[in-house]
Chains A and B, each alone.
Chain A
Amino acid sequence: MPGNQLSQAFVRTGMLDAKQPPAGETGLILWIRKNLLSSWLNIILTVLVAYAALRLALGLWPWFSNSVWQASSLADCRTILAEQGLGPTDGACFAVVTDRWHQLIFGFYPTDLYWRPILAMILFLGGIAPILFFSLPRSLLIFSCLAPFVCFWLLWGGTAWLPLLIVAGLAGGYALTRFVGAVISPTLTGLVTLALLIGFFWFGLMPLVGLMEAGLSLSIRPVASREFGGFMLAATIGLSAIVLSLPLGVLLALARQSDLPLIKWSAIIFIEVVRGVPLIVWLFTAQLLLNYFLPPGTSFDLTLRVIIMVTLFAAAYIAEVIRGGLVALPKGQHEGAVSLGLSYWQSRRLIILPQALKISIPGIVNEFIGLFKDTTLVVFIGLLDPIGVTRAIRATPEWNGVYWELFIFVGLLFYVVCYAMARYSLHLENLLRRDNY
């Protein structure tokens, strides 16, 4: 057929392989051209920034490369530098970190008990893993619920009966609402359980702890909060406040949206008052004012007071972030939940909160990062956080005059934690991305 000849002459039967883009339009060169050298203004800026970065690196490099890592004092460091023919400020003296790293990390926690905060940290990370990563089996959540109590016991020591009985009380309350509440009215059972629990914790707990301890001693050496310090103090305050403020913030955000005026206005007043006053003022209140109000002789642990204040402070901010998420949800979601016949709590749990929280993730993590760094404010009420410890270390005759080395170390510690949080937030956002609305 004549058509055949034509098609053979003009129509290709196979696809050609794609050609490589021309040199200069690919890889690194393309990236540089597009991002650094796209216009005259950008070329000038690139050159200037590159020059500044180079100068900075060249200026700092000798200081780092000449670092002294083993010395007993600043004077010793300077002698070692002088032996190499260097001036006293030509090299860093990271020996201060080698000598005092344990104080920067653990404060004045007894040296032979360092395993306890370390184990507590491991347990905390283990406990939080099933919450952070959905691929882990859900049965591990039991471990997440128990981890805080074990951490508390490990950090402060003392009798194990206190956390054990608290867990027992909470478990008993849960069982009561779950099994009795299924038979009788759930609301009534809930209220009775709440009253029972408050009564138990307020009056019965401490005598019972004493009784059980007398029967079977489960004590490990107690460590006073006063001995907490350094990065461990920042982590204790920061992580407790993060873990506690999220549920509290969710409740506050829901309360603020509530139809019941009492609940709604309580939440509004709490949030606005707490947000309207700087954290440092709340910390001063925790340290000074509370003591005037409490009966004399009741020494309510300062670190605990600070944790409570920081938690309440963070909760108010988290509540507003989550409220942003709640407001962003289309009204149809609420109406859909109602039309399915879901109760208030069912609709929050299954429809509203999962979506609202997803929207709020960047804001929440942002709050957490800020909160973690805000823990350094406790230095103003005399607690020795990492910054406070650097000051105390500088006050010793050996290390008076060391600044940058200590601050660089502390900065690195904070950077690692905050960057990890930021990366996790990104991971979560990618995981939960649904591009359907």
Chain B
Amino acid sequence: MKINTTRILLAAAMTAFTTTMASATTLEDVRAAGQLKCGIHEGLAGFAAPDANGKWQGLDVDICRAVASSVFGNSEAVEYIPVTGATRFSALASGEIDMLARTTTWTFSRDTDLKTEFVGVNFYDGQGFMVPASLGISSALELDGTTVCVNTGTTTELNLAEYFRANGMSYEPVPLETGAEAQQQFLSGSCDVFTGDASGLAANRATFPNPDEYVVLPEIISKEPLGPAVRHGDSEWEDIVRWSLNALITAEELGVTSENVEELASSVNKNAEINRLLGTEGDLGAMLGVEADWAKTIIMSVGNYGEVFERHVGVNTPIGLERGVNALWTQGGLLYSPPFR
């Protein structure tokens, strides 16, 4: 009996402790801090990189800026926290960052076991192969017996092994710690094949002294849906991040750009969804717990998804990616936002 009482008291004390810990929501914490703590890549072409003025730029960085626009109406209210591949999930779980936008692949185990909530996909990537054109290889199925440069400890390494085994081919891996090292080894001819995310391969190839001497093979051997993620268990905050991303996609679908958003918001449009998105009709902002013109602020400061894509990784950048699967669903791609209603 005595023991039981003690136990109950202990349990009560612990519950009280955990409740006090969880009392402040992420949104309240972010508002109190005055800026969003956004976990980004320490440096990846097109996704997160500091320019000459030390300002971070990239596809993932713009997601952070979009969320800051929703919460504060100010896309600059972000503290960028570079996190490594090894520390990103712990940084999110421990509250070091409020959200994670670091080219993170949405997988089953990360969603369930690691208690991370992925709010959507901001880039559909996949693993590909690059070879010197002189090898005369045109398909990944001809890679039998080659040496392959691959980064260690990544899903890339596992996908590679699975793909070669499934197709009954052999290969010799050259495991390397960093992308820079892998690129150097590949250029110096230590390996025949360089494998990695297709976006990364394109970015790397663009920097080679002679890009024309290398080809990226057409096969994509894995699905890498990269998306922003938040902590498990705070649905209000999750909603804000999810709909900030969806606002970018919907804006492109509705033809709202950073140039015409001011004009569209000042008049009543025939398309009611534009009005709802920009807050001139309905009260979607209030439902989300932010200002009515939240989506308008996002589009004014970072543009719609298409603009973001073209600015950082599109065909006119050195990375030079086509939209491909990252086009809207109406244009044969995979991007699809639930309706703003």
List the interface of chain A (C-beta within 8 A of B): 74-75, 78, 87-89, 99-100, 103, 107-108, 111, 224, 226-227, 284, 287-288, 291-292, 295-297, 302, 379-384, 388, 391-398, 400-401, 403
Residues of chain B within 8 A (CB-CB) of A111 are: 53-54
**Does residue B212 face the partner (Cβ distance < 8 Å to A)?**
no
| Interface stretch (choices B43-51, B158-166, B246-254) | B43-51
Residues of chain A within 8 A (CB-CB) of B29 are: 297
**Does residue B285 face the partner (Cβ distance < 8 Å to A)?**
no
Residues of chain B within 8 A (CB-CB) of A302 are: 96
Residues of chain B within 8 A (CB-CB) of A392 are: 42-43, 49-50, 82
The distance from the CB of B123 to the nearest CB of chain A, in whole angstroms, is 15
**A226 in contact with B79 (CB, 8 Å):** yes
Given contacts A89-B209, A224-B79, A382-B81, contact A395 B48 (CB under 8 A): yes
Residues of chain A within 8 A (CB-CB) of B81 are: 226, 382
Q: How far does the alpha carbon of A111 sit from the alpha carbon of B96 in the complex, in Å?
A: 27
**A396 in contact with B95 (CB, 8 Å):** no
Residues of chain A within 8 A (CB-CB) of B42 are: 379, 382, 384, 388, 391-392
Residues of chain A within 8 A (CB-CB) of B91 are: 287-288, 382
Given contacts A226-B81, A292-B94, A394-B43, contact A401 B87 (CB under 8 A): no
**B24 in contact with A296 (CB, 8 Å):** yes
Given contacts A108-B54, A284-B87, contact A395 B45 (CB under 8 A): yes
- Size category, B interface: 35 or more
Q: How far does the alpha carbon of A74 sit from the alpha carbon of B203 in the complex, in Å?
A: 13
**Does residue B4 face the partner (Cβ distance < 8 Å to A)?**
no
**B96 in contact with A291 (CB, 8 Å):** yes
Q: How far does the alpha carbon of A204 sit from the alpha carbon of B44 in the complex, in Å?
A: 46
Given contacts A297-B29, A391-B43, A395-B49, contact A400 B207 (CB under 8 A): yes
The distance from the CB of A418 to the nearest CB of chain B, in whole angstroms, is 24
**B209 in contact with A391 (CB, 8 Å):** no
Select from chain B the residue with minimum beta-carbon distance to A293.
B94
Q: How far does the alpha carbon of A87 sit from the alpha carbon of B156 in the complex, in Å?
A: 33
The distance from the CB of A226 to the nearest CB of chain B, in whole angstroms, is 6
**B94 in contact with A291 (CB, 8 Å):** yes
Residues of chain A within 8 A (CB-CB) of B46 are: 397
A-B contact pairs, 28 of them (CB 8 A): A87-B209, A88-B209, A108-B50, A224-B79, A288-B96, A291-B95, A295-B21, A297-B29, A379-B42, A380-B84, A382-B82, A383-B82, A388-B43, A391-B42, A392-B42, A393-B43, A394-B45, A395-B43, A395-B44, A395-B45, A395-B47, A395-B48, A396-B50, A397-B317, A400-B45, A400-B206, A401-B183, A401-B208
**Does residue B3 face the partner (Cβ distance < 8 Å to A)?**
no
List the interface of chain B (C-beta within 8 A of A): 21, 24, 29, 41-54, 57, 79-84, 86-87, 90-91, 94-96, 180, 183-184, 203-204, 206-210, 317-319
Q: How far does the alpha carbon of A103 sit from the alpha carbon of B49 in the complex, in Å?
A: 12
Select from chain B the residue with minimum beta-carbon distance to A407.
B180
Residues of chain A within 8 A (CB-CB) of B47 are: 395
**A74 in contact with B43 (CB, 8 Å):** no
Out of B87, B95, B203, B206, which one reaches A382, CB within 8 Å?
Answer: B87
Select from chain B the residue with minimum beta-carbon distance to A388.
B42
Instruction: Pick from B47, B81, B96, B319 the residue with the most CB of A within 10 Å.
Output: B96
**A401 in contact with B79 (CB, 8 Å):** no
Select from chain B the residue with minimum beta-carbon distance to A88.
B209
> Which secondary structure dominates where chain A touches chain B?
helix
Out of A99, A384, A397, which one reaches B319, CB within 8 Å?
Answer: A397
The distance from the CB of B126 to the nearest CB of chain A, in whole angstroms, is 21
The distance from the CB of B19 to the nearest CB of chain A, in whole angstroms, is 12
The distance from the CB of A66 to the nearest CB of chain B, in whole angstroms, is 14
The distance from the CB of B186 to the nearest CB of chain A, in whole angstroms, is 12
Q: How far does the alpha carbon of A89 sit from the alpha carbon of B203 in the complex, in Å?
A: 19
Residues of chain B within 8 A (CB-CB) of A100 are: 52
Total A-B pairs, Cβ < 8 A: 106
Residues of chain A within 8 A (CB-CB) of B206 are: 400
**B180 in contact with A381 (CB, 8 Å):** no
Q: How far does the alpha carbon of A111 sit from the alpha carbon of B86 in the complex, in Å?
A: 31
**B95 in contact with A296 (CB, 8 Å):** yes
**A384 in contact with B87 (CB, 8 Å):** no
Q: How far does the alpha carbon of A384 sit from the alpha carbon of B50 in the complex, in Å?
A: 11
Known: A107-B54, A288-B94, A381-B84; 7 extra A-B contacts, CB below 8 A, are A227-B54, A291-B96, A380-B86, A391-B42, A393-B49, A394-B43, A395-B47
The distance from the CB of A176 to the nearest CB of chain B, in whole angstroms, is 39
Out of B41, B52, B87, which one reaches A288, CB within 8 Å?
Answer: B87
Select from chain A the residue with minimum beta-carbon distance to B23.
A296
Q: How far does the alpha carbon of A115 sit from the alpha carbon of B91 in the complex, in Å?
A: 33
Q: How far does the alpha carbon of A84 sit from the alpha carbon of B54 in the complex, in Å?
A: 33
Residues of chain B within 8 A (CB-CB) of A379 are: 42
**B96 in contact with A103 (CB, 8 Å):** no
Q: How far does the alpha carbon of A401 sit from the alpha carbon of B207 in the complex, in Å?
A: 5
Q: How far does the alpha carbon of A400 sit from the alpha carbon of B201 in the complex, in Å?
A: 12
Select from chain B the residue with minimum beta-carbon distance to A90.
B209
The distance from the CB of A92 to the nearest CB of chain B, in whole angstroms, is 13
The distance from the CB of A77 to the nearest CB of chain B, in whole angstroms, is 10
**B84 in contact with A403 (CB, 8 Å):** no
Residues of chain B within 8 A (CB-CB) of A382 are: 42, 81-84, 87, 91
Q: How far does the alpha carbon of A181 sit from the alpha carbon of B228 in the complex, in Å?
A: 61
Given contacts A103-B50, A226-B79, contact A396 B96 (CB under 8 A): no
Select from chain A the residue with minimum beta-carbon distance to B88.
A382
The distance from the CB of A129 to the nearest CB of chain B, in whole angstroms, is 33
Q: How far does the alpha carbon of A280 sit from the alpha carbon of B46 in the complex, in Å?
A: 29
Select from chain A the residue with minimum beta-carbon distance to B22.
A296
The distance from the CB of A117 to the nearest CB of chain B, in whole angstroms, is 14
**A99 in contact with B50 (CB, 8 Å):** no
Q: How far does the alpha carbon of A384 sit from the alpha carbon of B209 in the complex, in Å?
A: 28
Instruction: Pick from B21, B47, B318 the residue with the most CB of A within 10 Å.
Output: B318
Chain A to chain B: the 10 pairs with minimum beta-carbon distance, closest first = A401-B207, A395-B43, A88-B209, A395-B49, A392-B43, A291-B94, A108-B54, A400-B207, A397-B318, A391-B43
Select from chain A the residue with minimum beta-carbon distance to B32.
A297
Q: How far does the alpha carbon of A99 sit from the alpha carbon of B183 in the complex, in Å?
A: 23
Given contacts A103-B54, A392-B42, contact A287 B24 (CB under 8 A): no
Residues of chain A within 8 A (CB-CB) of B79 are: 224, 226
Residues of chain B within 8 A (CB-CB) of A391 are: 42-43, 180
Q: How far does the alpha carbon of A107 sit from the alpha carbon of B319 in the complex, in Å?
A: 25
Residues of chain A within 8 A (CB-CB) of B83 are: 382
Q: How far does the alpha carbon of A297 sit from the alpha carbon of B26 in the complex, in Å?
A: 11
Q: How far does the alpha carbon of A380 sit from the alpha carbon of B90 in the complex, in Å?
A: 13
Q: How far does the alpha carbon of A254 sit from the alpha carbon of B158 in the complex, in Å?
A: 52
Q: How far does the alpha carbon of A382 sit from the alpha carbon of B86 in the complex, in Å?
A: 10
